[in-house]
Structures are given as structure tokens and as C-alpha cells.
Amino acid sequence: MLLKDRVAIITAGAGVGIGRAVAARFLEEGAQVVLTDAHPRRTGETAAELSKQFGREVAGIVVDVTRREQIEGAVKQAVEKFGRIDILFNNAGINKLEPIWEVKDETWDLVMNVCLRGTFWTMRAVLPHMLKQGRGAIVNMASAAGWMAASDGEAPYSAAKAGVMGLTRAASGELAGKGIRVNAIAPSVIYNEFLERIYPPGMFEAAKKRNPMGRLGEPRDVANLALFLASDLSSYITGEVVSISGGSVVVP
């Protein structure tokens, strides 16, 4: 029960991938979870399913991270309900593949606003509560694409995720002496079925063949790392961007 009685906010937690896996992993370890997502039906259904599975209420709140008032409203609701916020897992992200010479302003703005500005806004909303407590753990979702172009057409996504890495490091320096740790996770390909709507056919099999472990990552792999970074097991770790790639992306 590594997270017993701790309150965690998870953004983009109602899909089929990393967010939901992290929510389930945190619940397994005793956390109270506030699950947010931009999809109203899915948010309610996922919160209800996890509540039934784990025998305690999972709060589901509709949040579009490009809407600052929705982020701030969800944080307020979490504090009113549970009295504190101990963990933020910043998972909201989006990708749209366009060659850099054809990237539309709308695409650039969308990817930046969800991946980078949404991450910043959510951090800023929870930090006053963590500062008041004198402790907290923030885990941001970066990507191996922040170090390198994972595929053609990912310039906005790569730039946004590199920004998340920089934001993580900067925030960690400001907050380390205040009891708050800030780290990021940078996955390579973590398969879920929704990704097949974004990436071209054959990409997943090609990535699997290139991987030293001979497989793609799974959401549970990332959830285990998120648990480590959110818990006291990593109490002397902050400002890190941790690669999780099966050895395909090794950063010196």
C-alpha cells in the first residue's frame, strides 16, 4: 500500500491506455483517485468501473486541459472532497501527424496547448495546495519524441514533449526545497488500440522488431514506473526524465 490515504489527480485517465492503467495501479496501492478526462461519457463510465473494481469511490470530472477554468474547477473539487492533493499525474496529450512544411497553425496550437500548456496549467493549479502541505509528487508525461523524432510528421509533438522535459527540470529546481518532487516519464511506443488511428499501418510491427526486448511497451509498464516516482520509493529523485523503452532509447 505505497500510496495509502494519498490523493492523486490523473489527467486523461479515461482512455484505454496509460492514464487508466496508472489510475488502477494507484488504486491498488491505496490512493484516492480523482480521474479527469475530456470525454464526458468515458469519464463517468471509467470512474464507475474503477469504483466498483476497487470498492471505493473514484471521482470522475470532465476536464479539457485547454480550458484553464475546468482544470482549476477540478482541483477545487478534489480539495473539497478529499482535503488535499498529494500526487499529480499529468497525462493529457495529443498528436497529429503532419509534415513540418505542411503543419497548420491550428495543429501546432492544439498539440502545444494540450501537451505543454495543459501540463503547466495543471501543475500551477495543484501547487498551492502541495506547498501548503509541504509535500507532493508530480509526474509529467513526456515522450522519447522529445529527444528525437519518433516518426515523420511529429514536429509539434516532439517540440511540445521537449518542452515538458524542460518544464519538469525547471520546476524541480524551484520546488525541491519545499518538499515537492517533479519528474517525467519518456516512453517509446506504448501500445494501445487507439494509437492505430494516429500512426500508419506497419509502424507497430516495425517498432517491435527494432526493440532490443522484442516487444512493445504496455500501459502497465508505465504505470509501474509512475507508481515508483509518485511514492516514497523515489524520495531522493527529482528533476529526472526517465526513459522507458525496452532499451530502444538509451539516454546518456
Determine the pLDDT at residue 142: 98
- Does residue 196 lie within any of the structural domains? yes
CATH number of 160's domain: 3.40.50.720
- Does residue 252 lie within any of the structural domains? no
- Catalytic annotation, residues: 157
- Does residue 121 lie within any of the structural domains? yes
Determine the pLDDT at residue 189: 86
Which residues of the chain are under the pLDDT cut of 70?
A: 149-150
Question: What range defines the domain where residue 164 resides?
Answer: 7-244
Whether residue 221 contacts residue 243, with contact meaning beta carbons closer than 8 Å, is answered with no
Determine the pLDDT at residue 150: 61
Cα dihedral 154/14/38/93 (nearest 10): -20
Total structural domains within the chain: 1
Alpha-carbon gap, residue 103 to 113, rounded angstroms = 15
- Does residue 40 lie within any of the structural domains? yes
Q: What are phi and psi of 175, to 5 degrees?
A: -105, -10
- Does residue 249 lie within any of the structural domains? no
Q: What is the pTM of this model?
A: 0.95
- Strand (E) or helix (H) holding 228: helix 219-230
- Does residue 192 lie within any of the structural domains? yes
- Does residue 116 lie within any of the structural domains? yes
Whether residue 9 contacts residue 34, with contact meaning beta carbons closer than 8 Å, is answered with yes
Residues 6+ apart with CB under 8 A from 159: 112
Whether residue 142 contacts residue 90, with contact meaning beta carbons closer than 8 Å, is answered with no
Determine the pLDDT at residue 149: 67
